[in-house]
Structure 1
């Protein structure tokens, strides 16, 4: 029998980090299911989901502690499958002149509507003509059935005007 685990991994970036993790997963009879990983600044961060044989779980988790010597901090949690609630998925994108508080203000509006941010990617870049710093964000949102999507959209447009950013909100698909 297999047991699903969710792992977070953080450490100074260098070649071979993912291989070190994958090697331990494989050595313990595990299977790499899905992951999101990236380098920001000089740091590497990732979250991944693996299956390992139930009888090898404890030894596997202990072996991950050995990655500390390679500069990686690993946290392992059981993957507790949450039942999918009815609702929909939406995509949100934003761009505007960078300033402190954009993520806080947008995420506050989203949280007030009990909407979950499932994925978030942000970036600062230089505007082509002016050289000003532009902030951009893209997010995948889970919207519960109980959410008033029109009110959410209106509140997002209101905060976008206050922040002087452009927001694009698109409801993507229904979930069961």
Structure 2
């Protein structure tokens, strides 16, 4: 039986963090099942879903304080279970591009939350517009839409919201 552990790490960005962290994971006999990594500002952030037998996961948990000190990272961990899907869901992708302004993530996440639609993955970035240099915002997210929800109605309501907020957006099934 596989045991699951989620570890998050945050610290100053430098080469070798992923190598050092995954080496410690492997040395304990655990496996990286899923991961998300990014550099945000000058900070490196990573979230790992690790799997292993009970002894391997316990060994890694015991080594986390030492790893935190050695690597100069803030480490947190939590045991978890395999995710259970209770309803039929359809995977969709959302893309939004707009002039940057506060509240875009809140407005879009609130729209989906109010309809009991789960955000599975979310990524945002800022960049300068090509010719004008205006501050731009881009967001990509994956959502799980309940199969019994009308996609046509959802798409219409979403596009109305985006028009109201002056956002260019796309809602499409993930293939």
Equivalents in 1 of 2:107, 2:144: separation in Å? Answer: 18
- Picking from 107, 127, 130, the partner of 1:128 is 130
| Alpha-carbon shift at residue 67 of structure 1 (Å) | 2.3
* Deviation string, structure 1 residues 70-118 (Cα, Å, up to 9, x no partner): 2212222223112223110001111111111111111111111111111
Partner of 1:71: 72
Runs of 4+ that moved beyond 4 A: none
Equivalents in 2 of 1:12, 1:147: separation in Å? Answer: 43
1:134-145 to structure 2, matched below 5 A, reads: 134-145=136-147
| Alpha-carbon shift at residue 155 of structure 1 (Å) | 2.0
Question: What residue ranges of structure 2 are gaps of 5+ in the alignment?
Answer: none
Partner of 1:160: 162
| Alpha-carbon shift at residue 172 of structure 1 (Å) | 2.7
Please say if 1:21 is aligned against 2:35.
no
Equivalents in 2 of 1:81, 1:87: separation in Å? Answer: 17
| 3-state secondary structure, aligned to 2:110 | helix
TM-score, scaled relative to structure 2:
0.91
Instruction: Tell me how large the CA RMSD over aligned residues is.
Output: 1.5
- Picking from 95, 98, 101, the partner of 1:99 is 101
* Deviation string, structure 1 residues 46-89 (Cα, Å, up to 9, x no partner): 11111233123323112111122222122222231122231100
Question: What residue ranges of structure 1 are gaps of 5+ in the alignment?
Answer: none
> Relative to structure 2, which stretch is displaced further, 15-24 or 50-59?
50-59
| Count of matched residue pairs | 173
Equivalents in 2 of 1:23, 1:131: separation in Å? Answer: 42
| Alpha-carbon shift at residue 151 of structure 1 (Å) | 2.5
Partner of 1:49: 49
| 3-state secondary structure, aligned to 1:153 | helix
